[in-house]
Structure 1
Amino acid sequence: MWTGIWLAYLGAPAADLDSGGHTWWAVVLGSCGLVAFVGAYLALVFRYTRRSLDPGRVLALLAVTFAIALCLALTMGSPWLVLFVYVAVSAGAALPIRQSAVAIPSTVAVMVLIGFQTQNGSGFVVSLVFPALLGGFAMVGVSQLVRTMVELREARATVATLAANEERLRMARDLHDLLGHSLSLITLKSELAGRMLPGLPERAAEQVRDIERVSRQALTDVREAVSGYRRLTLSGELAGARTTLAVAGIAATLPAEVPEDLPGTLGSGSEEALAWSLREAVTNVVRHSGARHCEIALAPRQTLDGLFLQLSVEDDGRGVAAAPRGNGLTGLGERLDTAGGTLDLRSSRSGLTLMMRVPLAPPAEAV
Structure 2
Amino acid sequence: MKRSIFPRQYGFFPYVFLIYLGFPIYYLTTEAGVKQLIGYGMVLLFLVSYSQLYFAMGKRKFTYWLAVQLAIVFIFSMFYNLNYMFLGFFPANFIGWYWDKTVFKRGLISLVFVQIFPFIYHIMKTKTFFSPGELIYFIPFLIIMLISPFGIRSMNRRMELEKQLDQANQKIEELVKREERVRIARDLHDTLGHTLSLLTLKSQLIQRLTAVDPERARLEAKEMEVTSRAALKQVRELVTDMRAATIAEELLQIQQILRAAGITYRYDGEVDFSRISPFTQNIVGMCVREAATNIVKHSRATHCSISIKLTSEKMNIVVRDDGMGVTMAKPFGNGLRGMEERLALVDGVLTLSNNNGAVLELTVPIIKKAGSAAI
Q: Distance in 2 between matches of 1:193 and 1:83?
A: 93
Q: 1:182 to 1:192 in 2, by over 3 A?
A: same
Q: Distance in 1 between matches of 2:233 and 2:198?
A: 16
Q: 1:14-29 maps to which residues of 2 (within 5 A)?
A: 14-21=25-32, 23=34, 25-29=37-41
Q: 1:1-367 maps to which residues of 2 (within 5 A)?
A: 9-21=20-32, 23=34, 25-43=37-55, 48=57, 53-54=58-59, 56-74=60-78, 76-117=80-121, 126=139, 128-229=141-242
Q: 1:18 to 1:159 in 2, by over 3 A?
A: farther
Deviation at 1:15, TM superposition (A): 1.8
Deviation at 1:73, TM superposition (A): 4.3
SS at match of 1:94: coil
Deviation at 1:147, TM superposition (A): 1.3
Q: Distance in 1 between matches of 2:62 and 2:72?
A: 16
Deviation at 1:182, TM superposition (A): 0.6
Q: Confirm or deny: 8 A CA contact 1:88 1:132 kept in the other structure.
A: yes
Q: Confirm or deny: 8 A CA contact 1:65 1:87 kept in the other structure.
A: yes
Identical aligned residues as a percent: 26
Q: 1:68-121: per-residue Cα shift (whole Å, max 9, x none)?
A: 434554554433322333222211123434532442133212322244335789
Q: 1:306-360: per-residue Cα shift (whole Å, max 9, x none)?
A: xxxxxxxxxxxxxxxxxxxxxxxxxxxxxxxxxxxxxxxxxxxxxxxxxxxxxxx
Q: 1:140-188: per-residue Cα shift (whole Å, max 9, x none)?
A: 2211221122122222222222232233233222222221221110111
Deviation at 1:126, TM superposition (A): 4.2
SS at match of 1:139: helix
Deviation at 1:133, TM superposition (A): 1.1
Q: 1:188 to 1:63 in 2, by over 3 A?
A: farther
Q: Distance in 2 between matches of 1:61 and 1:196?
A: 91
Q: Confirm or deny: 8 A CA contact 2:49 2:69 kept in the other structure.
A: yes
Deviation at 1:37, TM superposition (A): 3.0
Deviation at 1:224, TM superposition (A): 2.6
The one-letter code of the counterpart of 1:87 is P
Q: 1:40 to 1:75 in 2, by over 3 A?
A: farther
Q: 1:101 to 1:110 in 2, by over 3 A?
A: same
Q: Distance in 2 between matches of 1:28 and 1:4?
A: 19
Q: Distance in 1 between matches of 2:225 and 2:101?
A: 71
Taking structure 1 as the reference length, the TM-score comes to 0.51
SS at match of 1:19: coil
Q: Confirm or deny: 8 A CA contact 1:37 1:68 kept in the other structure.
A: no
The one-letter code of the counterpart of 2:97 is A
Q: Distance in 1 between matches of 2:158 and 2:33?
A: 43
Q: Confirm or deny: 8 A CA contact 1:17 1:27 kept in the other structure.
A: yes
Q: 1:253-295: per-residue Cα shift (whole Å, max 9, x none)?
A: xxxxxxxxxxxxxxxxxxxxxxxxxxxxxxxxxxxxxxxxxxx
> Which stretches in structure 2 are left out of the alignment for 5+ residues?
1-11, 245-375
The one-letter code of the counterpart of 1:13 is P
> Which stretches in structure 1 are left out of the alignment for 5+ residues?
232-367
Give the greater-gyration-radius structure (CA). Answer: 2
Q: Distance in 2 between matches of 1:207 and 1:176?
A: 24
Partner residue, 1:365: none
Corresponding pairs, count: 223
Q: Distance in 1 between matches of 2:144 and 2:52?
A: 20
CA RMSD of aligned residues (A): 3.5
Partner residue, 1:234: none
Q: Distance in 2 between matches of 1:162 and 1:35?
A: 47
